[in-house]
Amino acid sequence: MNTNWHSIFNDFKKIKVLIVGDAMIDSYMWGSINRQSPEAPIPIVDIEKYEKRLGGAANVASQIKALGATPLLCSVIGNEDKGFFDLMKHENLSTRGILQEERKTTIKTRIISENKQQLRVDEEDTFPIINESDFIKNSINLMSNVHVVIFQDYNKGVLTKNVINSLVEFASKKQIPTLVDPKKENYWRYKGVNLFKPNAKELIESNSEKEALSLENISKIVTKQRKQLNAKLFLVTLSEKGVFIQTEKEEHHYSAYNRKIIDVSGAGDAVIATAALALAQKLDCHILAQLANLAGGLSCENVGVDPIDRENLLNEAIRLVQNRKIYNA
C-alpha cells in the first residue's frame, strides 16, 4: 500500500494538540569573535544582533502550528513575563493555558558566533509550581476539546507529581492519546501514556544497570521499561544513529538520514511534535517513527531552536520515498 503523504499532511490542520509543560524563552546574542580576552583564556564576542524566540514547551507549540495543526499550551511563567506574551502574540498562539505566579520566567541565553554556540546562560526557578490545583483545573478544561496531549518535561517545576497523575488519568478516561518527552526527575511518573520518548542519554541514565549503548541493549532496556510504564509505544531518539521504536508486537531501528548538522537544539521538540500528529491520526508505527526521525534531522540544519516548515518536511518525505530511503506503508 502506498502512503498518501499529501493526505496525511493535509489532515494535520484538523488536529488540536494540548502541550503541557515547561515554557521558556530562548534568547540569542549573535556576534563575531576577533580577539581573545586579556583577563582570561576566553574569546570576546562582539554582539551584532539580539533575538528572542519561544522555547521549551512553547517551542513545541510553535512547531505544532508550523506543521499546520492547532496548539494549546498549558504552562506557568513568572509574574514578570520578560516578553513571553509578546512572543506568543507574534506567533498567534493562544495564551488561555498560561498562568503566572511568583517565580522567574525561564530564559536560556545562547551566545552564538562562527555558526555555533559559544556559551549558554540560564535564568530560572525549578521549584514546583505553587498553584497546582488551578493549573490542573485549567489544563483539564482545555483538554476536553483536543485530539492528543504532549507532556513536555524539562524539570522546571510545572509537571509535578499531582499534575502528571491528574492529567494522565483524565486523558485516559477520555481516551485522548498522550505522549511524553521525559526528564530524569519525573521519568517513572508517566505510567500509562501512549507514547514514551526518551533520548539515548535519558534511557541509559534511567536504567539501573549501566550498559553500553548498543541496539541489543536498547531493545532489552526498552522492553523492560515499556512494560514497567505500561506504554503502548516507546520511541528512543539516538542522535546521529536515528531512532528506535518498539510496540508490544514489533520493534524497528531507523538510521538517521545524511545531513549537515549545525545545531541539535530543539531536535527533540520537532520529534515529539511530529510524533503527536502521527499518533493522533493513528498512523502505522513505521510511518510515525520515520516522520519523527526526519523532523528531528531537519531541525538540526539551522542554528538555534527554530520550528521546521511543514512543506519542507512533506517534500523530504516524498523525496526519500522516491529514493527508497524511507519505508512506504
Residue 35 lies in a domain: no
Q: Could you tell me if residue 142 is inside a domain?
A: yes
Summarize the confidence of residues 83-112 as an average pLDDT.
Answer: 96
116 assigned to some structural domain: no
Instruction: Specify if 114 maps to a domain.
Output: no
Check residue 323 and give its pLDDT: 60
Confidence (pLDDT) at 135: 98
pLDDT digits (tens, 9 = 90+) for 117-142: 899 999 999 999 999 999 999 999 99
List the CATH number of the domain containing 198.
3.40.1190.20
Residue 100, domain member (yes or no): yes
User: pLDDT tens for residues 35-53?
Assistant: 999 999 988 999 999 999 9
- The answer, yes or no, to whether residue 308 has pLDDT greater than 90, is no
Cα separation of 10 and 301, whole Å?
Answer: 24
Residue 328 lies in a domain: no
Q: Does residue 327 lie in a domain region?
A: no
The set of cell numbers assigned to 47 is 554582539
Does residue 1 have a pLDDT over 90?
Answer: no
Q: Are 117 and 111 in contact (CB under 8 A)?
A: yes
pLDDT > 70? residue 249: yes
Q: What is the pLDDT of residue 304?
A: 55
Containing structural domain, residue 165 = 5-24+56-107+125-322
What pLDDT band is residue 324 in, cutting at 50, 70 and 90? low
- Give pLDDT tens digits for 202-234: 998 888 776 667 777 889 999 999 999 999 999
In-domain check, residue 15: yes
Q: Which residues are catalytic?
A: 269
Distance from first CA to last CA of the chain, Å, rounded? 6
Domain count, the chain: 1
Whole-model pTM: value is 0.92
